[in-house]
Amino acid sequence: MKEIQSVGVIGLGSMGMGAAKSCVRAGLQVYGFDLNRNALEELGAYGATAVSGNPVDYARNLDSVLVLVVNAQQVNTVLFDTGLAAALKPNTPVIVSATISAEDAKQIASKLAEHELLMLDAPVSGGAVKAEAGEMTVMASGAQETFALLDPVLKATASKVYNIGEAIGLGATVKIIHQLLAGVHIAAGAEAMALAARADIPLDLMYDVVTNAAGNSWMFENRMKHVVDGDYTPKSMVDIFVKDLNLVSDTAKELKFPLPLSSAALNMFVSASNAGFGKEDDSAVIKIFDGIKLPGVDKAEK
């Protein structure tokens, strides 16, 4: 089996850019693909072999493909609507790292198989900082041969790779369960900080107390810092958690399983999106609370 020497990274957002740069540092030939010209220029300057808005132009150069887009619709667009899957060399492994349903993962794998392509169902976590450092957490399912083939890319981009099993869809399901926790933690953190604001407790003080006490979580520490700073520049948007917590809800419906906390969190994110904050950082879910003063937020905005 020929060792992978090149990888095409599709989607150069906060996670994809970090993964692509990590692959450059690992010595892989990196081809970066995105519609954002600034992202292409950034990766090109970092040392990518080539960057383009059209991956089909470089399909025959790719030993592997890493797809880091937002949802299943975008995965299908970049792989099939563009003609990329048909243009790739047979047996090219494709890492699908979007947060999608198990059923969507199975359908994408089936369509890739029609083109004699392999798939790793491999959602990721860790945020932009971990992606930039090549230290993402990958929760993946797929054939053992596919794992082995993709070892150079996985080593370049991740500090932890969990092999969930051979069945496509298992990786997607583990990520969905993870997103239940992530969404609830952000919503609970926002609720706590909103209560602190209502009680006229300085939010930087409240943040310092929690991050040095038992109530802390990774999501609280990361996202509530944005609230303290009054900076809602999106790393992950409110609308991402509308999507992800809806995936959680759909999974629960299929399993006939009640999820009271994640349902409440979903309603909070939907309310934030409905209020016009959907494209802001997901910490902006705190803006749904009335009667409080937040750092950097004008009253007219709320």
Q: Catalytic residue positions?
A: 175
* Strand duo 124-125 + 93-96: pairing: unpaired
**What are 165's strand-pairing partners?**
141
Q: Which runs of E-coded beta strand occur in 38-121?
A: 50-52, 65-67, 93-96, 118-121
In the three-class reduction of DSSP (H, G, I as helix; E, B as strand; rest coil), residue 118 is classed as strand
State the Cα–Cα distance between residues 215 and 47, nearest whole angstrom. 42
Buried-exposed string 163-181: b where 16+ CB fall within 10 A, e elsewhere: ebeebbbbbbbbbbebbbb
CA separation for the pair 85, 110 (Å, rounded): 12
The label of the residue with tokens 């976590």 reads: 125
CB 65 within 8 A of CB 7: yes
